[in-house]
Structure 1
Amino acid sequence: MDNPIILVQAASRAWSGAPDWCMNEVDGRPVVALTIENGFKEFPAADVRIIAPEFDRGGRLDELPAMFPENKVSVFYGFDESPLERMIAALEDAGDHVPVIRVDGLHFGWLTDHARTMLNQASKNGLDCVKTEDDFPIQLTSDIYRPGALKKALSILEERSNGAAYRVHPKFFMFTATDKFKCARVPGPAVSEEWLKKCRETAEQVYIAGNMNVDSSKSINAGDQLSFHYEMALDYIGPDAEVLDCGCGPGYGSRMLADKAKKVVAADLDIETVRRASSGKYYDNITFQTGDATSLGFEDNCFDAVTSFETVEHVDPAPYFKEMRRVLKPGGLLILSTPQNSLGHIPVNSQHLHEFSLQEISGLCSEHFEIVKTTGIKQGRIIFPDDPKGQNTFMVCRKKI
């Protein structure tokens, strides 16, 4: 399989509606160009097809084929809310049985030799989908699909009212329907520290903001994990609760909390972030202020709940957990999320000091709290009940009385 079809999923904006980092520039080229270039090193005769939402037609992605004049690169546009339908349409001429590689445009460090191994396994065993373990660093991954299986998945999902999230990540639908699809998870390969460090160095030009943003006017709910964290948290917030939203970012989640809680204090380390957050829609039960997650200026035992999403990976976890516990009332809840990574000692995301395996984050939480529930978010908004492995860890922890 030296000349596979490689689908590169790219867009100018993320599911949250904010600009997508795959279009950030590294040495004058968008990140997605590095992702394509990496693929050609392993598969020089590959047929690379960039699959993008219709809203990007006429934009900068049109320039990508000209960056690779010696290679086969094309761009397909369509289906803003359904990468599944986008893939099927882009593979119309491919036949149903030849497996193809799919990689996210942001994943410039994807392990192409491992993709070859998975591709060969899919071809040899007639597999519909092959992916690495759910907690392997996502920036290094790619997936294998059989086009006929994608069509089959769509035909089933069209009859379901709750299938939108699976149209974003169809591999997980296939893994839920093992009676209909033949799938395999394979262990991630050994990764050298040299490669992790090289990816992290490149990422310094890619992950240029500490906060991930949401633009609700442009977001597409089916794939928006950032809002999903707050939606999950609302199940644990009562109408009389006083809540600290620690690491509030642009404040969209704080306003979601304020629709249910009695009072919300929205805190972030960066004063400009706080100013932008406070300039949004006014709520009389939200207070915006600066705050350091490892050294908060609040009294002991003053909050019923603390939400802290995508924060602990940015800081020293020891003082972080100590502060979270200190400001909570006895019996209060810490509700957090963080990337789940089996190789998190050198995270690709250069904004992160450390990313935690499920065992690591569970151990840290257990030192200070009783763990009420652990959920592994597979990708986007997809969870499997009672399965804590995923690309992201969502935890609900209680301060012991």
Structure 2
Amino acid sequence: MHKDKTTTPIILVQAASRAWSGAPDWCMNEIDGRPVVAITIENGLKEFPNADIRIIAPEFDRGGRLDDLPSMFPDNTISVYYGFDASPLGRMIAALEGLEDDTLVLRVDGLHFGWLPKHGASMLESAKQNNLDCMKMPDDFPIQLTSDVYRLSALKKVSAMLSELPDAGIFKIHPKFFMFKNTDNFKSAHYTDYPHVADSWLKTCRKIAEGVYVEGRMLVGKNEGIKAGDQLTFHYELALDFITPQAEILDCACGPGYGARMLAGKATSVIAADLDAETVKNAAAASENPDNLFFQTADATALDFADNSFDAVTSFETVEHVDPVPYFAEMYRVLQPGGFLILSTPQNSLGHIPVNSQHRREFSIDEITELASRYFDIHKIIGIKQGRVIFPDDSKGQNTFMVCQKPE
């Protein structure tokens, strides 16, 4: 009997040992002796037991841990393709060689262990019925629960169009956003009528995440990354537009200090602060620290600085870890009137139970705007779709970058 391609799809699982920042990728962290990407595959097989699953990995991972994945699922069709270190788009097309151009495929990130295959099945069916080139979840849906649908002919068309464009790297990583941006050339849609996501599933994913989101990606700056996908550094690059050479800055929750060093290249002085004493010690030990950069421990909700001490505070991927009320109060207190609080935080329409177990709460764009507006005027909001992808005048995304100004 002929099998319906919608119920036995090709699933591309994007995996790598190294994140775009250059740090170890969380998808290779082990849960019960298996890498996280194996849980992602297993999750898909529950809905699609006969799926043709093709792991697409960069060439630098050939001969590594990903080679072991097919043997973990001996009764299923699992293969690994290696190639195109900086271009998941190139990997996708190459891994689908020989298939008809009209083929629809599901793609899921290896780190998205909580993805919802039933959503994937619905998107495949909708893409088939509506002749779509791409379908994805809403931009602010919890990223760990997402998958995307692509038509092979559309991927090839994206590749051809990008070959004629400068600085196309971000769309080689995230081709779906190129399709959504170019409505004259591609037919794309968001999957908005998805069924309710149970709190029980969010809690299950959060429990799994306790072994997933550990030290790794925050080691950015210690390894050679691929700039087109490095969102952590992108936050600081965006912030530099709001920093003057005369500014005295607090970089709150500075981590390893890579961003504080960027800021110190423009500002008069930078205090880089973090709650963890060992993190501060390691950051301060870096040999390339300039003379106008100072490290110390500090609590973002109870800062040991005088009122009106700083012209700007940068605080990236911080507010989701703490109680937001004292956090915003402290940011307001230590800033000069007219000073900027420049922050980023995951954007999540279901953030009441964040999958990332290190986060207390994640915020929709409306929720974080309401919290910040209690103290600040909102100067600018950017919705970062993924990586470094932004659309002007569109605040929805996987990450919120926000510039807040203390009233004069």
TM bracket, shorter-chain basis: over 0.9
Distance 1:174 1:305 in 2: 37
Partner of 2:26: 21
Q: Residue 210 of structure 1 contacts residue 351 of structure 1 at CA under 8 Å; is this kept in 2?
A: no
Partner of 1:270: 276
SS in 2 for 1:160: coil
Distance 1:164 1:14 in 2: 15
Q: How does 1:31-50 map to 2 (within 5 A)?
A: 31-50=36-55
Q: How does 1:232-381 map to 2 (within 5 A)?
A: 232-280=238-286, 281-381=288-388
Q: Which portions of structure 1, spanning 4 or more consecutive aligned residues, are displaced by more than 4 angstroms?
A: none
Partner of 1:64: 69
Distance 2:136 2:15 in 1: 19
Cα-to-partner distance string for 1:110-155 (whole Å, 9 max, x where unaligned): 0000100001111111110000110010100000000110000010
Partner of 2:149: 144
| Alignment pair present for 1:117 and 2:94 | no
Partner of 1:207: 213
Residue type of the partner of 1:86?
R
SS in 2 for 1:156: helix
Distance 2:87 2:238 in 1: 23
Cα-to-partner distance string for 1:153-191 (whole Å, 9 max, x where unaligned): 010000000211011000000001110001011114310
Cα-to-partner distance string for 1:193-240 (whole Å, 9 max, x where unaligned): 000000000100111239722035421000000000000000000000
Distance 1:90 1:209 in 2: 31
The runs of 5 or more residues in structure 2 that have no matched partner are: 1-5
Distance 1:11 1:75 in 2: 11
In structure 2, do the counterparts of structure 1 residues 355 and 79 end up closer, same or farther at CA, with 3 Å as the change threshold? same
Residue type of the partner of 2:157?
K
Q: Residue 104 of structure 2 contacts residue 150 of structure 2 at CA under 8 Å; is this kept in 1?
A: yes
| Alignment pair present for 1:222 and 2:240 | no
SS in 2 for 1:383: coil
The runs of 5 or more residues in structure 1 that have no matched partner are: none
Distance 2:151 2:361 in 1: 35
Q: Residue 341 of structure 1 contacts residue 357 of structure 1 at CA under 8 Å; is this kept in 2?
A: yes
1:94 CA displacement:
2.1
| Alignment pair present for 1:128 and 2:129 | no
Q: Residue 209 of structure 1 contacts residue 351 of structure 1 at CA under 8 Å; is this kept in 2?
A: no
Distance 2:163 2:187 in 1: 20
Q: How does 1:119-198 map to 2 (within 5 A)?
A: 119-187=124-192, 188-198=194-204
SS in 2 for 1:219: coil
1:98 CA displacement:
1.5
Distance 1:142 1:102 in 2: 6
Distance 1:210 1:21 in 2: 7
- TM-score, structure 1 as length reference: 0.99
Distance 1:97 1:138 in 2: 27
Distance 2:315 2:289 in 1: 22
Cα RMSD (Å): 1.0
Distance 1:143 1:338 in 2: 23
Partner of 1:51: 56
The count of residues paired between Structure 1 and Structure 2 equals: 401
1:276 CA displacement:
1.2
| 2:391 corresponds to which of 378, 384, 389 | 384
